Structure 1
Amino acid sequence: MKKTMNHQNQIISINCAFKLALILALPISNAMSFEIQAYEQKIKNNYSVRSVIEKLPGRDLESTLREFIASGRPNRLVGSPGHKKTQEYLEAKLKSMNSAGATLSKLEFEGVADKKSLTGVNFIWEKKGLVSPDDVIILTANYDTLIKDPKTGKAIFKGEMPGADNNASGVSILLSMMDLLNKLNLPKTVKLVFLDFGEFDSQGAKNYATSKEFLADKNKKLVGVINLNMLGHDSRTGDKDKKMSNMNLYTQPNDAFAGMLMKSGKENYSTVTFTPTEATEASKLPADSSFFREAGVPAVTFSQNREGDLNPRYMTSNDFAETLNINTYTNVFRYVTSGVLAWNYDVVK
């Protein structure tokens, strides 16, 4: 009898361990970890902007970042199995954000990488405005990865490419923003665009900037495009000025769109600073924003201080989440999101 009981206990223990392993292996979903009350939907000032943004816990921001990185291991190199898994993850995630007015669309295009013709996919999540749907703001971030030989600068098409800073940080800020926007009744339209082939001459951005969908928005009241790239690194020791939380906003001189975003950011989250900076060869900045400006639309890129504090793990296999400054990453999310909400609710113009 004792032998039978012991055997049953062993089976129960094994089953429990197996179930626990399955639970731990499942993706972490943070979409339902906070709620927006009816009275909080009426955003009228900076206080209510901050109140809504801070409903999303900081731990969820890091969880989303790590979940996205895990979705494409060992790399998100275009054409790789990990890249395909990331596309499946993004499609499922964006489909799950299906509140009233929210839609998902995909734009496929032919891209070239390593002299091979491959199909790229840009994912577009839209939350249509209830009051002024033709007033549009677009945010973009590329989701693919690439590493380069530090000596020759040539691309390496194999190996680990976690791409935590470049550019899971930008993508995850959009994903977290989507969690928030999905719960709001927005007066104006917001589009979040997840770009493919960003590490290959920004082909995804170029394709989107010339697409019928983008040109249709341009003919409406498109206020501008915000590109997010490498927003997780921030150090004092590696910084030329020995400062923390000094990031850059790459833009054109006297850009009113950039000024509007910075005004809201400064008023709501002065814990991080974005300095208006014109992109140079030294900044190693992707061309994403330039394609939208060439189309006649104001476009800016939020990024780290690339000239003074560029991530030393840029385009290497050591670009892990553990190397990022999560505090700065959280403050950047809040800074950028405050600009989007302040514009949407006419808190800032």
Structure 2
Amino acid sequence: MNSITTHFQRKKRKLMKIKKKQTKVTSSNWASKLFFGALIFSSVTAWSFEYQDFEKKVKNPYQVRSLVEKMPRKDIEENLRSFLVAGRPSRLIGSAGHKKVQDYLEEKLKAANSTNATYKRQEFTLSDASVSKEKGVNFIWEKKGTTKPEEVIILMANYDTLLKDPKTGKVILKGEMPGADNNGSGVSMLLSMMEIFNKLEIPKTVLLVFLDAEEFGAQGSKEFAKSLNEGVKPAGFINLTMLGHDSRTTDTEKKLNNLKLYTSGTEGDSAFGKLITKLGEREYSSISFKEEKISDGTSTLGFPATAESLWGAGFVGITLTQNRQTDLNPRYMTANDFAETLNIATYTNVFKYVTYAVLSWNYDIVK
């Protein structure tokens, strides 16, 4: 009897050990599934943000700032790096990278398809066929205003690049040109703004324009300006270019946030520029854009002709960029224009500054 009891007790203990082991394995499997599930979920949602309905009812400066701050800094930087990867090794007109980045932009614009949002391709023949036999392509994304659609603001940036020999200044048609500052910084700011505007129902109309062939005679902006003459009269345009470089070391004035707002010198440009800087500095005072009038004889070293295309067509607007007189990026148009060389803090703050100013204008929160 004792031997039988002992036998069953041993068997029971063995079964309990097996069951305990099975439970541990099962728990481990579930933990593993939950862990990898969390990784998958986080990879999908890492770059996303949403606005609650109450956040979209904007009536004061604090609410505008909340809209801007809702977009994480990592999203802003990721948009920059993703754009640069898409255009490797160069975005020179006619190159493989140029074509890849066109596909990238088109997919991005297609995906931003909320109510009242549309996009179009604007193709044009290049004036210099020796550069490329392909057509130039501007991409235009529009978010139509809900209550004042006739009031329009335009934000522009060129996405093509150009490589020059730093010693001779001659154009190099073959070679790597990351173009992080020139002008991945401007293009990526527009892409980040698009994510915000796409999630909102805004009162006034916003046009985001991605320009092609700007490095060869500002051909994209000239084509875009001609199309505007057909009826659109914007309140103003903002040309965004080279907004990633900011260094006390290379700045001859030894200053950070030493940025410039270039105008043609007209009262209209100056008034529009003062409005944008007044609004931007209201919440992001660490950033300062000092107005420089081209008509005052300012050196145009490296000055983009994009704004001149629209000024020449009679439109009011400004260029926001780095201080090209005292702190021009030393890697300008070279193979060393990498994201790692940029001041991401300044870049992020400039993005917030401009987005805040545009939204404040859009919601008529200007006092």
1:167-316 aligned within 5 A = 167-211=183-227, 213=228, 215-218=230-233, 222-253=234-265, 254=267, 255-279=270-294, 280-316=298-334
From 59, 71, 77, the equivalent of 2:92 is 77
- Which of the numbers 90, 95, 106 marks the counterpart of 2:110? 95
Return the offset for 1:271. Answer: 1.1
Cα–Cα, structure 1 residues 177 and 167, in superposed 2: closer, same or farther, change >3 Å?
same
Go from structure 1 to structure 2 and tell me whether the alpha carbon gap of 1:184 and 1:224 turns closer, same or farther (over 3 Å shift).
same
Mapped partners of 1:304, 1:347: distance in 2: 27
Aligned to 1:109: 124
CA distance in 2, matches of 1:304, 1:68: 21
Counterparts of 2:252 and 2:167, CA distance in 1: 23
Distance 1:303 1:294, change over 3 A: same
Report the TM-score when normalising by structure 1: 0.88
C-alpha distance after superposition, 1:290-342 (max 9, x if no partner): 11112211111000011110000000000000000000000000111111101
- Deviations along 1:184-218, whole A, 9 cap, x unmatched? 1100000000000011111100111012x553212
| TM norm structure 2 | 0.84
SS in 2 for 1:300: strand
1:122 is aligned to 138
Superposition deviation, residue 144 in structure 1: 0.4
Deviations for 1:58-106, whole angstroms, at most 9, x for unmatched residues?
0111100000000011110001111000000000000000100000111
Deviation readout 1:244-280 (Å, 9 max, x if unpaired): 1111011134421111101101111011110011233
1:52 aligns with 2:67: yes
Contact 2:280–2:353 (CA under 8 A) maintained in structure 1: yes
State percent identity of aligned pairs: 57
Q: Is the 8 A contact 2:47 2:75 kept in 1?
A: no
Q: Which amino acid aligns with 2:181?
A: D
The answer to whether the 8 A contact 1:78-1:113 is kept is no
Counterpart Cα distance in 2 of 1:29 and 1:107: 32
Q: 1:29 Cα shift?
A: 7.9
Instruction: Structure 2: state its 5+ residue gaps.
Output: 1-35
Q: Which amino acid aligns with 1:81?
A: A
Deviations 1:152-174 (CA, angstroms, capped at 9, x unpaired): 11110011110000000000000
How many pairs does the alignment contain? 321
**Structure number with larger C-alpha Rg:** 2
Unaligned runs of 5+ residues in structure 1 are 1-19
Distance 1:282 1:267 in 2: 30
